[in-house]
Structure 1
Amino acid sequence: MKKRALLAIFAVFMFVLMAGGCGSNSASDSKTISMALSNEPSSLDPAMTYGLSESDVELAIFEGLTRADKKGVAQPALAEKWDVSADGLTYTFHLRKDLKWSDGTPITAKDFEYSWKRVLDPQLASGNAYMLFIIEGAEDYNSEKGSADKVGIKAVDDNTLQVKLVEPAAYFLDLTAFHAFYPVPKHTVEANKDGWAGNAETIVGNGPFKITKWTHSSEIILEKNENYWNPSVVASNSVRMPISESKSTRLTMLESNQTDLIVDPPPADEDRLKEKGLYKVEPQLGTSYYIFNVTKAPFDKVEVRKAFAMAVTRKDMIEKVVRNGKKAANTFVPPGINVNGKDFAEETGSLVVEDPAQAKKILASSGYNGEPVTILYNTNEMNKAIAESIQAMWKDALGVNVELTNQETKVFYASRENGEYQVAAANWIADFADPVNFLDIFTAKDNDAQYHNAEYNAIMKAVHKEVDPAKRAQLMHQAEKKLFDDCVIIPLYYTSQVIAVNPKLTGYYCSPTGVIDIIKAHK
């Protein structure tokens, strides 16, 4: 699954002041902040995007029923309150009065019904559809086994939205803050079906800012949305987002006082940035990993996948290449997610085996004929360095010739989605703090690994039906172990939100889900 993914997918924000500007763009104007993106957004359609840079821009120009706070907990946004039935299956959201889109058109509960069902529409083929399967009838509609009118999403009236779930889900409210649950304007979407979310002229949102200019692969400009329901909390009048895939270029912006904040600065500059008091590490729930295409030779054989996975040793790579406070990952679900009163990852223990010598023996008996393999990654200095490190490991331990292919992020996402790779870089940052957000990835019919395992899917269905917390946790541990038994992924390290920031910038916060909220950011 691509992410907000994948993140190698580590798409990122920076707040940037453009040097030499004038008027509202001047570095002396505290009402203007600047945010440099690490890559060109593939789209700004909340139903269709996965990367963090897209998510960050969307958080600025859209808003859902709820908005996550700095701890990732949903707080009232377009919904001022809600009621939950005694059995935990029915949620009734009460929208604020007089909500408007950025073009002044009224927002009603019908916009949410339209938008959520649009995500599920099999013709749209949204990779985020599975996140709505907790809703009654949603999975059947998405798999063309049911109809849209059987989905448990209903606008009772203009200000009331009723949602029925298939089983109680304590995390459902947190889900409603995720970008796939944002409303989109039907009048704009239907009028510009061939690309409404790819150009500033056709994007209509409802968030604290509105998009006024998008020069592709160069810059995005936002201005304060006068039709936002709570404009008094929006601290900046405008936001500039220059786009650069180069970490060194973005760091230069920061150190030349053109930039307020960058995410994931070059590891080689860590010590220097610490000395200057610019370096910060924020908590984040995420895992960086490599993913196998389990249908593409030679990785269509589990023995071959296990050999390549066992040949990866993490300690030196993380200490010398990754740095930035990262820790080696020995599970897929990262530490910091509590289930039934226990840290899920700690209770799991290590699922990783590092044994290059044994890996060589397994590969020799697997029938592998020695053909070269290719690692695919999206263009980024860190991704390149990691790929080169693993390339060397596989050459030294297995005697395999490994080729490296890098692609611009938008092309990279498409290649992974279409299964046009053998092994690829990936990241997953939690959308909400529950292991199912990681484990459900591989139940999706379009998951990037092309992994379609009936046993795994059955375990995850049981997870979603189980109401006993202890039994549910046990099933999730069983599912994660199955992923490792089938060797679908190679976890590398747990992510953290490393930033370099101008001390004058305040009011922003980094969510554990990897998104940076700038609604109150100012200098």
Structure 2
Amino acid sequence: MRVYRMGMVVFFLIFSLFIAGCGGGDSDAGSENNNQVLKLNISGEPTSIDPAKAFDGDSMEVVNNLFEGLTRLDENSRPQLAVAEKIDQSKDGLTYTITLRKDAKWSNGEPVTAHDFEYAWKRVMNPDTASSASFLMFFIKNAEKYNAGDADADQVGVKAQGDRTLVVQLEQPTSFFQQLIAYTPFAPVYKKGVEAAENPFAEAAGIVSNGPFKITKWKHDAFIEAKKNKQYRKADEVKLAGIKWSMITDDTTAYQMFKQKELHLGEAPPQLQGQLIQRGEAKVTKGSGLGFYRFNVKEKPFTNKKIRQAFALAVDRQMIVKEVVQGKQEPAYAYVAPGTTSPIGDFRKSGKNYIRDRQYDRAKQLLKEGMEEEEWEKLPPITILFSKDEKNKKVAEAIQEMWRKHLGAKVKLQAKETKVYFADQKSGNYMVSWSSFLPDYNDPYNYLESFQTGHSMNRTGWSDSEYDKLLKQARLETDENKRIKLLHQAEERLLEEMPLFPLYYYNNIILQHPEVKNVIRHIVGPNDYRFVQIRQ
């Protein structure tokens, strides 16, 4: 009998361990159903997964799936109620009274409150936070003054009235407000947890979220794991057990992982994009933003407008897109990208192009006139700054040859590590710089606001009172047709003065295994994996 009993003990011990190993514990993203863990890659360690500080594409993707704001974009990129149960707008468009859902909870089971939203938004505005996204809050009354140190937090137009009511006052009517608050800087944070920790978003264990997933493990510079958040308001519609974001920095390695099904989604390496599209392995979808070059207007010869225009016109964008980039991008002859909408439609369709390709004779004439105006006999050597990247290098080499051939310019190329490149661009330590813009919200104002005098994203040294006036008028205009007309005038002014020249509009070149369904992609904003299923 002792042998029998010992055998039974061993059997039950092994069986219990087996159940514990398979059963739904809380240790990792795949504990509930390993077949339903979405395997993704981001290009490196996120700069932050703090909603106030996550302001690059990779960081915002993680945050967007861990947190949820008052509204959330649907599959058509339209804002829908999320944590908000109801949004009431005053007749003058200046005050929003927002009622929160009763079932909105943090991943620890506590209710999400209006106080969490007030705290989170003011935290983004607070100059001590040093949030790159703070300017997105400036539509709110006194937010800009608070950020500049000219107002107190109590004077900002965000107030919690009880646990479920948030009242927001704006500086002026903002037609895209409900879309704006769907983006990650407007997500709530768990006030009690953030206040209690010195660095509340440094490690997985300290992060409480309210979105479809909650973080369970973060091995820095290696991976982030998240599992389904059972407290999420639509938890029954979340089919994934979890998500794992790897951090593979090499494009080719990430592509090989995709081919070997170690990743469910991927991006085509720049050098293979054309081939993969042609073979049907990569899918091209609409994107947002554009690649362009900044001129430093304080550096000769780009102090002269005609010379800036000459260099902008001596470029063959179609050739660059077709033969260099090879991703079926659209050449850019204006600044605001197609698909950028307002309540009255696509901004690009109601506008016009301001540049044409291969205007070599006109470019030579403008260069001659600019040189005569400045009484210069020859051009100084030109240097193009770009971040170390094979695609950026090839584009710069193509432009180098165009400027040599058609303008007689001596052009040097200067590749720098990403952090150094950004530091040089921000400080004005460049002549011509490769640049990239990805919009923060889907409205033409977001594109054009960057070149106002003193704006942190300007980085050209350019200041134009007429342009500033047009942007200010557009910001205050309540008639949408008049607002869009002012923004078209501002874009025309920008491309006339030419502190930059556009090159091509971005699209998305997607690798996705066929068993992955229901990924929500937006023209503007990070991917949403709430409703993804992996069909076996």
**TM-score over 0.5 (shorter chain):** yes
Give 1:248's match in structure 2, choosing from 244, 248, 252.
Answer: 252
Give 2:155's match in structure 1, choosing from 146, 150, 169.
Answer: 150
Which is worse superposed, 181-190 or 65-74? 181-190
- SS of the residue aligned with 1:308? helix
Q: Is the 8 A contact 2:146 2:153 kept in 1?
A: yes
Give 2:128's match in structure 1, choosing from 123, 141, 159.
Answer: 123
Q: Is the 8 A contact 1:219 1:243 kept in 2?
A: yes
- C-alpha distance in 2, partners of 1:495/1:88? 34
Give 1:284's match in structure 2, choosing from 287, 290, 313.
Answer: 287
Partner of 1:305: 308
Q: Is the 8 A contact 1:83 1:91 kept in 2?
A: yes
Q: Which deviations, in whole Å up to 9, do the C-alpha atoms of 1:311-337 show, x marking residues without a partner?
A: 222111100112222110111111223
Give 1:387's match in structure 2, choosing from 393, 396, 400.
Answer: 396
Partner of 2:20: none
Partner of 1:133: 138
1:346 and 2:349 matched:
yes
- C-alpha distance in 2, partners of 1:49/1:24? 22
The residue type equivalent to 1:393 in the other structure is M
- C-alpha distance in 1, partners of 2:509/2:59? 19
Q: TM-score, normalised by structure 1?
A: 0.86
- C-alpha distance in 2, partners of 1:440/1:118? 23
Partner of 1:12: none
Which is worse superposed, 399-408 or 317-326? 399-408
Structure possessing the higher radius of gyration over alpha carbons: 2
Give 1:460's match in structure 2, choosing from 461, 466, 471.
Answer: 471
Partner of 1:490: 501
Q: TM-score, normalised by structure 2?
A: 0.84
Per-residue deviation, 1:109:
0.7
- C-alpha distance in 1, partners of 2:158/2:273? 50
- C-alpha distance in 2, partners of 1:114/1:229? 22
Seen in structure 2, the aligned counterparts of structure 1 residues 62 and 376 have a Cα distance that, compared at 3 Å, is: farther
Q: Is the 8 A contact 1:24 1:31 kept in 2?
A: no
Higher helix fraction (1 or 2): 2
Root mean square deviation, CA, Å: 2.7
1:447 and 2:457 matched:
yes
Seen in structure 2, the aligned counterparts of structure 1 residues 451 and 348 have a Cα distance that, compared at 3 Å, is: same
Q: Is the 8 A contact 2:291 2:435 kept in 1?
A: yes
Q: What does 1:209-248 align with in structure 2 at a 5 Å threshold?
A: 209-248=213-252
> Matched residue pairs, number?
497
The residue type equivalent to 1:251 in the other structure is Y
Q: What does 1:348-497 align with in structure 2 at a 5 Å threshold?
A: 348-354=351-357, 355-360=359-364, 362-363=366-367, 365=371, 366=374, 367=376, 370-398=379-407, 399-408=409-418, 412-443=421-452, 445-449=455-459, 450-497=461-508
Q: What does 1:174-185 align with in structure 2 at a 5 Å threshold?
A: 174-185=179-190
Q: Is the 8 A contact 1:137 1:146 kept in 2?
A: yes
- SS of the residue aligned with 2:291? strand
Partner of 1:325: 328
Q: What is the identity percentage for the equivalent residue pairs of Structure 1 and Structure 2? A: 36
- SS of the residue aligned with 2:498? coil
- C-alpha distance in 2, partners of 1:31/1:320? 40
Seen in structure 2, the aligned counterparts of structure 1 residues 403 and 51 have a Cα distance that, compared at 3 Å, is: same
Give 1:203's match in structure 2, choosing from 204, 207, 215.
Answer: 207
The residue type equivalent to 2:475 in the other structure is H
- C-alpha distance in 2, partners of 1:246/1:389? 24
- C-alpha distance in 1, partners of 2:188/2:343? 33
- C-alpha distance in 1, partners of 2:421/2:237? 37
The residue type equivalent to 2:310 in the other structure is A
Seen in structure 2, the aligned counterparts of structure 1 residues 459 and 198 have a Cα distance that, compared at 3 Å, is: farther
- C-alpha distance in 2, partners of 1:300/1:213? 51
Partner of 2:533: 522
Which is worse superposed, 444-453 or 484-493? 444-453
Seen in structure 2, the aligned counterparts of structure 1 residues 264 and 356 have a Cα distance that, compared at 3 Å, is: farther
Q: Is the 8 A contact 1:263 1:500 kept in 2?
A: yes
- C-alpha distance in 2, partners of 1:106/1:142? 29
Q: Is the 8 A contact 1:333 1:438 kept in 2?
A: yes
Give 1:112's match in structure 2, choosing from 117, 125, 129.
Answer: 117
- SS of the residue aligned with 1:45? coil
Per-residue deviation, 1:358:
4.1
Which is worse superposed, 184-193 or 251-260? 184-193
- SS of the residue aligned with 1:70? coil
1:52 and 2:57 matched:
yes
Q: Which deviations, in whole Å up to 9, do the C-alpha atoms of 1:99-137 show, x marking residues without a partner?
A: 333344542111111111222223333332222222222
Q: Is the 8 A contact 1:66 1:176 kept in 2?
A: yes
Which is worse superposed, 46-55 or 320-329? 46-55
Seen in structure 2, the aligned counterparts of structure 1 residues 258 and 107 have a Cα distance that, compared at 3 Å, is: same
Per-residue deviation, 1:374:
3.7
Per-residue deviation, 1:98:
5.0
Instruction: Tell me: higher relative CO, structure 1 or 2? Use CA pairs within 8 A at least 6 residues apart.
Output: 1
Q: Is the 8 A contact 1:122 1:144 kept in 2?
A: yes
Structure 1 unmatched ranges of 5 or more: 1-22
